[in-house]
A and B are shown apart, each in its own frame.
Chain A
Amino acid sequence: MTAYGLRRLVQAIPTLLGATILGFALIHLAPGDPIQFYAAQSGSMTNDDIERLRHQYGLDQPLVFQYVNWLAQLVRLDLGVSFGSHQPVFQTIISRIPATLTLTMTALAMGTLLGVTIGVMAGLKRGGVLDSATRLIAVIGHAIPTFWFGLVFILVFAVNWRIFPSGNIASLGTTDFDLGDRLWHLLPPALVLSLNHIATLSRFARTQTLEVIGQDYIRTARAKGVAERMITLRHVLRNSLIPVVTILGGSLPGLFGGSVVIESVFSWPGIGRMAVDAAFSRDYPILMGLLLMLAMLVTLGNLLTDLAYGVIDPRIKLS
């Protein structure tokens, strides 16, 4: 399995290179470069200034050369300097990653727990009220724009009822780390972000449960008098959970993409909101750094999912 993991890591290199080439080409082939953009904003730059800055940032060099340069710096963990803040991009992104990982992983865990519970219960009582509700939730959960769900959540629970805070990672003015306060701030955005995941998983877990219930070993267990609760926990739940693992990795791009909007809605200081700010100010080094970071996280998530699948299901041989 170690060999398999290593080979997958090596295979990931061309994919990641491809993603960065794609991002680089998109960013640099777009009309107008960042210097022009800043010049238009400041309004007081002469053409000489523009040329000088362009030279300073290496933007007057051929595109291939610029990309190779970017790669060469990357090897030294140097992603360049942000156009906006003039801080090193690598450090800036690293400082924001924990907030985003906390948010997305909480959403993943909460969504998985809720989705599987709902889906399995719906499958066990096929045709019941919960079953119909699940099928409705599955479609509505995908149809509701997540950012709007977040807005309504804030409006109802923070503005009108004042149960939850309206955003941010901790209460203003708190300097010490207060776990309760942090969790209180984490819960709303994580719940909103997990909506899609809950919808996908409840539907999937329901299908899996229905499949497992029809198997012969369930009938055998019933026939030999195993208590219904044990059948549910030992046989149905465990076996219907196996394929759920395959879905987890596939949810990562959606969760990271969703965090771009949700972090903006809840003023969450992670890389998602950073991406929106960088997009507005055309901060190319930041955008390239974020693209690489997100692509790496997604690739790693997929690899871990496949490895976990091999561990959980002995029938799967990783090769």
Chain B
Amino acid sequence: MAIVARQPALQHALVPQGEVSSGRHARTLVDNAVRMLRKDRLTILAAGLLLVFAVCAALASVITQTLGLPANNVDLSQRFLPPSAAHPLGTDDFGRDQLARLLFGARVSLSVGFLAAAINLTVGAGLGMIAALYGGRVDDLISWLVNTVRTIPGLFLVLIVASMFRVGPEGLAVIIGLTSWMSGARLVRGQALQIRELEYIGAARCVGATNLRILLKHLFPNVLPITIVLLGIDVGDAILRESALSYLGLGIQPPDASWGNMLNNAQSFFSRAPWLVYVPGAVIATTVWCLFTLGDGLRDAFDPRNVR
């Protein structure tokens, strides 16, 4: 679904690191990136917010216990209570506290997002590097696979797979990861094709390095920066996909909370409890905005053309 335009901005990020100039300590790519990031307030804000969300998710049980808000405590006499001191974000159709469910939902949504993105980048980067390195028929096969899977709209594909394999959160992460690796594979393949032509790859071949060694020792470290930058955007995409699936009822299953399935019955809340519609979606949007902004910020920071 939502894929922020991925420009191949990092193609010059592969300059040799630590080139010494005029005796002073050389600035490395990472040094430059850190300098850039310090000035980029929006990225810092996004990273900070993400950190807060992650800590809240990790401490969900501690926070809810301290506030005395059990997440799955069904109490039908407490249904659809508007936000109050006892329930800061109100209660849902089963009388459960919405804040507590958001906190526990954060665990599911964030970890599914990260796991799915890690899987999709591993597969994507792996296939992309193999295609570029081996070329010929292998490249044709992988490129054909990428083009083929891309003709099926992503959300439709993930919908089919999720309905066939009714799985838990981990399985859902695997499904989302395995249905969204194509653009990563294309990008990494493009990068790896450029690197393949560089002299040090030729030199490595001369001294008899195997393809596997070249892939692990030379290609991998060089495509790692783009992959890390893609991570932010891909985690955001995975969270959006999980939320859409869970909204439709084919993702995380109740009584477990995820940000998406909290909106599953949203249409029936319209007149009675609009806060149950606004809050979960706003939390998803904020998290994904942070991830995209972080991804964009990192991409700019690791682009040597931006060095000032």
Contact = CB atoms under 8 A, between A and B. Distances in A.
Interface string A241-274: 0000000000011101110110010000000000
A88 interface: no
Contacts of A16: 151
- Could you say which of A27, A145, A151, A254 has the most chain B C-beta atoms within 10 Å of its C-beta? A145
Given A22-B148, A155-B277, A291 B160 contact: yes
Interface in B2-30: 2-5
B163 A280 contact: yes
Contact of A140 (B151, B248, B285): B285
B247 A147 contact: yes
Interface string B228-255: 0000000010001001100111100000
A43 B271 CA distance: 38
B153 interface: yes
Interface stretch (A45-53, A180-188, A196-204): A196-204
A257 B153 contact: yes
A26 B161 contact: yes
B37 interface: no
B153 A279 contact: no
A258 B1 contact: yes
Contacts of A264: 248
Contacts of B165: 30-31
Most buried by B among A155, A279, A291: A279
A259 to B, nearest CB: 8
Contact of A154 (B270, B281, B285, B293): B270
A48 to B, nearest CB: 26
B152 A295 contact: yes
Contacts of B266: 151
A152 B278 CA distance: 7
A244 B39 CA distance: 32
A144 B165 CA distance: 27
A254 B292 CA distance: 18
A211 B271 CA distance: 49
Nearest to B259: A145
B174 to A, nearest CB: 13
B151 A282 contact: no
Contacts of B247: 145, 147-148, 261
Contacts, number: 156
A95 to B, nearest CB: 19
A23 interface: yes
B1 A298 contact: no
Interface residues of A, number: 53
Contacts of A18: 144-145, 148
Interface in A185-214: 196, 199-200, 203-204
Contacts of A196: 1-2
Interface string A1-25: 0000000000000111011001100
Interface string A288-307: 00110011001100000000
B149 interface: yes
A193 B89 CA distance: 29
Given A140-B289, A287-B160, A147 B152 contact: no
B296 A139 contact: yes
Contacts of B280: 148
A112 interface: no
**Candidate in A22, A159, A258, A260 with the most chain B CB atoms within 10 angstroms:** A260
Interface of A: 14-16, 18-19, 22-23, 26-27, 30-31, 138-140, 142-149, 151-152, 154-155, 159, 196, 199-200, 203-204, 252-254, 256-258, 260-261, 264, 275-276, 279-280, 282, 287, 290-291, 294-295, 298-299
- The 8 closest A-B CB pairs, nearest first, are A148-B281, A257-B155, A30-B164, A257-B153, A279-B163, A18-B148, A143-B289, A142-B2
Given A148-B263, A148-B285, 18 more contacts: A14-B144, A18-B144, A18-B145, A22-B148, A138-B4, A140-B289, A142-B3, A142-B4, A143-B289, A145-B244, A147-B263, A148-B247, A154-B267, A196-B2, A253-B154, A279-B163, A291-B152, A295-B151
